[in-house]
Amino acid sequence: MPRKTTIIERLIASSIALILFFLFTGFKQIEGHEQTKVNVLVIALYGVEIAKVEWQPTIDHLQSSLPQYEFKLIPVPPIELHRIKELVASQEIDFVITQPAIYVDLELNFGISRILTMVKKEGLSEFGSTLITRSDSGIKTIKDLHGKTICGAAKLGFGGWLVGYKEMLDNGFDPYKDAKEVKFLGDQTKEIQAVLDGVIDVAVIRTGMLEKFSGSNRINLDDFRVLAPKNYPDFPLVVSSELYPEWAFAKTRNSTNELSKAVAIALLSLKKDSPVTQKAGFQEWTLPYDYQPVHKLLKELHVEPYKDYGIITVREFIAQHMTETVIIFVLATSILLMSLKIYLSNITLSKEISARKQAEAELKKHVKELNRAFDEIKTLRGIIPICSYCKKIRDDKGAWDILEAYICNHSEAQFSHGVCPECYKKQMEDLDKEQKETEQSR
């Protein structure tokens, strides 16, 4: 007879079935309603708190336009570039709102790609740098900046330094070498005030700042002079440099094409001067511009990410040109060995030539000495016909010459006449005899 099921066992079985039901149905439904998180990093140019005030309306607009996603704003100051790179590299970021220089850095190193470009008020999607000084400073051109004090917003600030820095270099002035001092004040408001107070001679600010401060009655434009002013069609702001594309809205590799397309459409749908864009200080978003001019500028200035641009180490050269390097090494070694062999041969040959020259010199010396000896010695040879009585000698022509004349003509000998003792004695005896005979005859 089968055992009856107790109430406790039925409760246990029901509980297990209920748990299994939630595991395979309920939890999946909850998961299906979970929103995908989307992190948007923005460069907090004027600090984190100001960035939150300016850009949170944009995040709210994306949230309302795409409710299936959960958008989060992550503001990071540009001075924390290492943290920005870490966040992008770790795939924690889906989109980046950034100024051109940082965009180029992230594009080159982490493969982010622009999907939109910012349009400022009056429809301006490009900007540059403005070099300003006090109108009574006496500074009229960039060449007058030698020995002056110059300031920028930050060393890696784009419109607030790098663009103006390039303009100064193009005019033959290097502020790091030719200026009295270069300062970075961190805030373009401080830059303008420092020039106005006479603390700084020249400031590099981004275009539009003078007009912005003048419009709010904070400054009088007549108190400033713009150095190296340029004119561009449809660009009404005072500018001292070339123009470059505005801030970029870029997607990272972590963002899907579907999400990127939806975000781009949502931002492009914002009307001109909507409360959202006005809060962030611009007019609207437009299709992306070409940022190659920014790449070119950073290359010329050797600024990150092109700090070592054009500089190739020996190891890099060998790695890039292994075959050519081996060929060059073999040729160089061969040439070196041949040169060494030729050098040693030349040394040996030089020694041989030197010894030969010395031997020739000695031979010439001996020949000269022998010639001199031969010239000094002349020998009489053969039978000499001489008279038995007068001792005259007959020459080849039959003439009779005295002994002295014949010898002088046939040799280099010279005669020195004297009297030998025997002749002298005999001569003296003959002389005495002759004298006695003379006296007797008297």
Q: pLDDT tens across 105-163, in order?
A: 999 999 999 999 999 988 999 999 999 999 999 999 999 999 999 999 988 889 999 99
The model's confidence at residue 316, banded by pLDDT at 50, 70 and 90, is low
| Residue in 242, 103, 266 with CA at minimum distance from that of residue 162 | 242
Prediction pTM value: 0.64
What pLDDT, on a 0 to 100 scale, did the predictor assign at position 315? Answer: 64
What does the alpha-carbon distance between residue 269 and residue 318 come to, in Å, rounded to a whole number? 53
pLDDT band at 4 (very low <50, low <70, confident <90, very high): very low
**Which residue has better confidence, 389 or 27?**
389
Check residue 386 and report its DSSP letter.
B
pLDDT for the residue 25: 43
Q: What pLDDT digit, counting tens, does each position of 222-265 carry?
A: 999 999 999 999 999 999 999 999 999 999 999 999 999 999 99
Asked if residue 305 has pLDDT above 70, the reply is yes
The H or E element containing residue 418 is none
Whether the per-residue pLDDT at 418 is higher than 90: the answer is no
When mean pLDDT is compared across 155-164, 242-251, 324-333, 369-378, the lowest value belongs to 369-378
Asked if the model's pLDDT at residue 31 lies above 50, the reply is no
pLDDT given at position 376: 54
Under a CB-based contact definition with an 8 Å cutoff, are residues 206 and 127 in contact? yes
* Residue 408 CB neighbour total at 10 angstroms: 14
| Chain Cα centroid distance, residue 134 | 36
β-strands 36-43, 95-98 pairing: parallel
Both tokens of 141, joined, read 């051109």
Those residues whose C-beta lies under 8 Å from the C-beta of residue 144, and which sit 6 or more positions away, are: 138
Q: What is the mean pLDDT of residues 77-104?
A: 95
**Measured between alpha carbons, how far is 117 from 27 in angstroms, rounded to an integer?**
42
Is the pLDDT reported for residue 19 higher than 70? no
Strand-strand pairing, 149-152 and 181-184 = parallel
- What is the distance between the alpha carbons of residues 237 and 94, in angstroms, rounded to a whole number? 34
pLDDT for res 196: 95
Q: Which two tokens stand for residue 193?
A: 């005030």
Characterise 162 by phi-psi region: left (phi > 0), alpha (psi -120 to 50), beta (else): alpha
pLDDT of 392 reads 79
Per-residue pLDDT, averaged over 53-81, amounts to 96
Contact 284, 247 (CB under 8 A): no
Please report the pLDDT score of residue 430 as a whole number: 77
Asked if 275 contacts 66 with a C-beta cutoff of 8 angstroms, the reply is: no
Give the closest residue to 386 by CA, choosing from 407, 366, 369, 416: 407
DSSP category for residue 160: I
